Structure 1
Amino acid sequence: MTIETRPITQGEAVEYLRLTPWVSGFPQEDPEPVAWYTGRAAYPPLVPPTAEQLEGYAAGLLTDSYRPQAAFVDGKLAGGSAIVPVEITLPGGRQVPMGGVSWTAVLPTYRRRGLLRQMMGALLDDCREHGEFLAGLSASEGTIYGRYGFGTATFQHRWEVRRTDAAFRTPFSDPGGLELVDGATAAAIWPVLHEQVRSQRVGELKAQPGRWDGLAAGRLPADGGGPSHHLVHRDAAGEVDGTATFRLPWSPDPDYAGELQVGAFEALNPEASRAMWGLLLDFDLTKRVVAARRPVDEPLRWMLANPRALKLARTRDNLWLNILDVQRALEARTYAATDALVLEVDGVSWRLDASPDGAACTAAPGVAADVSLTVSELGSLYLGGVRASEFRDAGRITEHTSGAVSRLDALLRADRAPHNAMAF
């Protein structure tokens, strides 16, 4: 058996696309209601493209915004994946390039032959060649990608609230105003607002080109759950500072009738957030509100008179990070304290001199480490969404200097949990 991993040619593009779950029909998610989707199915059903559509997709596949790799076994295309270049916001506000690993699949008849390992090596080498010191992905299974150096870095909630329990604890006055808009207006608002939001939110990603084109075109969601409605909040000066997309799908089951599903929600400030949730949680002729892709530090629970009214339906890891260049990564972000530590990452020692203004990271061969960890743990800690002390207590980080893990926690502490609503 001969395995070859390489980029595909234009002539192989259709065959490559046939490997992907959205064409092949093989599972792409675990069989549970997912944290990124508000519907009741495990994940939205996919509509396979026609042969003509597939040819059209293949014609525009090989671009700077999509860098595919494929695994061939004895000349037959048996696995595929790709890098989608994105930008991510780091602590301190810097937005840096990241290689997004996307649409990874191996044909069931070629599993357990090392194809994924070879493809992953080629993908990460491709990131390095393009100057990307971070790689990221969203994992369909939680046991696969840690072995390749990825660590869970952001998480998201799916929650629901019964309308009868959704009263706010304290009345508030809105200095701005709410408006329902059409899809074309929403499609113009979302890109501008998201760019403002992502500059404030560690872990958030730059949206992919065409992300909101379907709104302007009036396309219905693929699951057939009914049209989207678009809510906009404007501040006292008339500037947009929040928007949300929601649906009110019809259901033949009385248990699910009257459910309002919030698919996307972004706000620049607490005032806009409170105003939009105030309407969505008290929409006439509804019984329940379900929201997906919510940050784990969503303040809504503490706005409610009964905090128990907000019930978590699922917590799910979202973005997994791989630190491809430790020095560049540790120097790219800022820190919550001033300190110096020696970190041993996969057997290589680095001295980190960190402060709120930035950091210097230098190789420290032969210097005794304060803390030892793998690049997978570093990926989880990097944005501040996981505490080093949690990994120490789980036996995944070794502390050599007493108190060093607490000092590392103090350095990496984030005022807000990292979160990304965008995918790639």
Structure 2
Amino acid sequence: MTIEIRPITPAEAKEYLRVLPYANGFPQEEPEPSAWYAGRAAWPPQVPATPADLDRYAEQLQADWIRPQAAFVDGKIAGGSAIVSVEVTVPGGRQVALGGVTSTAVLPTYRRRGLLRQIMGAMLDDCRERGESLAGLSASEGTIYGRYGFSPATFQHRWEVRRTDVAFRDEFTDTGSLELVDAAEAGSVWQVLHERIRAVRVGEISPLPGRWQGLDALPADGAGRAHHLVHRDAAGEVDGAAIFRLPWATDPADAGELQVEAFEALTQEAYRALWGLLLDFDLTKRVVAARRPVDEPLRWMLTNPRALKLTRTRDNLWLNILDVRRALEARTYAASDVLVLEVAGGSYRLDAGPEGASCTATSESADLSLGLNELGTLYLGGVGVSELAHAGRVAEHTTRALSRLDALLRPDRAPHNAVGF
């Protein structure tokens, strides 16, 4: 058996695509309700790509923002994946280049031969050669990607609330306005709104080309067309938007459900106004919201915080730190301190503060020891250092080193990304 790992040529694009789950009709997600999906199905039906789909996908593979890799076994493609060029916002607001791993698969008849490990190694080497100090992915299964250096860094909630349980603590007068718009206008709104959001939100990802096109497309499970709600401030500027559906259901238990698929607000006023309407929409009885941040403030606006019930928590963005020094220097820190970190056998002196950091190799004794997986989870600040230490994954060598590193890494808000790749 001869194995070759390399980028594909244009002539090999369709053979490559037929290996990938979204093109061959194989499952793309674990069979559980996902935090990113507001519907009731465990996953949408998987439909193989049509010849027209394959033509379109093959053309997209020629773009400069996507770098496919394939595993050839005796000359035939048996597995594949790709890196997309995106950016992630890190603490301090800098948008850092990230190699996004996407559409990864090995044909069932070629499993357990080390193909995925070789594909992943080739892609991560490519990221390093291009100067990307971070790689990321969204894992379809939680047991696969840790062995390649990835670890969860952001998380999402899916929650629901009965309309009759909703009562806000405070009276509210909206000085702006709400409007339902069509998909074309919504696409323009979201393009601008997301750019403003990702400039200030740690963990957010830059959108792939075409992300905001086709917003009125029917979902695969037939859950009905999307509705687009926009909030404008008193000056007429858009400062919030939501996408929701009102699916028809044959089962009375599921009828009257409003499903929020996307929601963003730049101001507290926009946030309160948008949720005020969505949680009290006529002829509905329940709201289900997906892709929500773990520190959702809505709960604390209600007279009964128990009304908001979490139905799913899920890891979202997994990070792999490819260059420890450059990654630690790319972000800012919540306090000023100097610590020596032993990461995967190498020691680094981190001199960090609110204005930035320097990170240099050192022979000094370490204050803390951790692995690359642990650093990936801690990097954006969404998980506490002590939390990993209690799990036996971070070792403290000097007194209070855990709390000192925790104080450095924590952002004001939990990291969150609503857009993936």
TM-score where L is the length of structure 2: 0.98
Which letter maps to 2:415? Answer: P
One-letter code aligned to 1:235: D
What is the match of residue 169 of structure 1?
Answer: 169
Q: Structure 1: how far apart are the matches of 2:343 and 2:130?
A: 23
1:258 paired to 2:288: no
SS at match of 2:18: helix
The answer on 1:409 being equivalent to 2:406 is yes
Q: 2-side partners of 1:198 and 1:269: how far apart?
A: 14
Match in the other structure for 2:50: 50
2:262–2:291 CA contact under 8 A, matched in 1 = yes
Q: Match of 1:225, as an amino acid?
A: A
Residue 374 of structure 1: CA displacement?
Answer: 0.6
Tell me if the contact between 2:25 and 2:49 (Cα under 8 Å) persists in the aligned partners. no
Task: Choose which of 264, 278, 281 in structure 2 pairs with 1:280.
Answer: 278
Moved more, 335-344 or 124-133: 124-133
Find the counterpart in structure 1 of residue 6 from structure 2.
6
Matched residue, 1:271 = 269
Question: Does the 8 A contact of 1:47 with 1:222 survive in 2?
Answer: no
Query: Equivalent residue for 1:231?
Result: 229
How much has 1:354 moved relative to structure 2? 0.2
Across the aligned residues of Structure 1 and Structure 2, the Cα RMSD in angstroms comes to 0.9
Aligned amino acid, residue 293 of structure 1: R
Q: Which residue of 2 aligns with 1:65?
A: 65
Q: Which residue of 1 aligns with 2:415?
A: 418
User: In 1, Cα distance between the equivalents of 2:221 and 2:212?
Assistant: 17
Query: CA contact under 8 A between 1:321 and 1:380: conserved in structure 2?
Result: yes
Scaled by the length of structure 1, the TM-score of the pair is 0.98
Instruction: Provide the residue aligned with 1:367 in structure 2.
Output: 364
Q: How far apart are 1:55 and its partner, in Å?
A: 2.3
Which amino acid is the alignment partner of residue 249 of structure 1?
P
| Aligned match of 2:376 | 379
| Deviation of the 1:187 alpha carbon | 0.9
Alignment of 1:12-411 (within 5 A): 12-215=12-215, 218-364=216-362, 366-411=363-408
Give the superposition deviation at 1:167: 1.3
Q: CA shift at 1:276, angstroms?
A: 0.2
CA positional deviation for 1:24: 1.6
Q: Per-residue deviation at 1:50?
A: 1.3
Matches of 1:233 and 1:63, distance apart in 2: 35
Contact conserved, 2:321 with 2:372, CA < 8 A, in 1?
Answer: yes
2:217·2:226 contact (CA, 8 Å) conserved in 1?
Answer: no
CA drift of 1:2 comes to: 2.1
**Residues in 2 aligned to 1:346 and 1:406: alpha-carbon distance in whole angstroms:** 21
| CA positional deviation for 1:219 | 2.5
1:147-183 deviation line (CA, Å, top 9, x unaligned): 1111110000000000000111212111111111111
Any idea what SS the aligned residue of 1:19 has? Answer: coil
Q: Which amino acid aligns with 2:310?
A: L
Cα distance between partner residues in 2 of 1:146 and 1:374: 11
d(CA) in 2 for partners of 1:60 and 1:413?
Answer: 38
State the SS of the aligned residue for 2:33. coil
C-alpha separation between the residues in 2 aligned to 1:220 and 1:27? 19
Post-superposition shift, 1:369?
0.6
Q: Give me the whole-angstrom Cα distance separating, in 2, the residues matched to 1:416 and 1:137.
A: 21
Name structure 1 gaps, 5 residues minimum: none
Q: Does the Cα contact within 8 Å between 1:93 and 1:199 map onto a contact in 2? A: yes
Alignment deviations for residues 362-402 of structure 1 (CA, whole Å, 9 cap, x no partner): 000x3211101111100000000011111111001111111
Structure 2 counterpart of 1:373, one-letter code: L
Name the stretch that deviates more: 163-172 or 255-264: 163-172
Query: d(CA) in 2 for partners of 1:190 and 1:293?
Result: 16
Partners of 2:109 and 2:47 lie apart in 1 by 23
In 2, Cα distance between equivalents of 1:15 and 1:374: 38
The question of whether the paired residues in 1 share the 8 Å contact of 2:27 and 2:46 is answered with no
| Cα distance in 2 for residues equivalent to 1:201 and 1:108 | 39
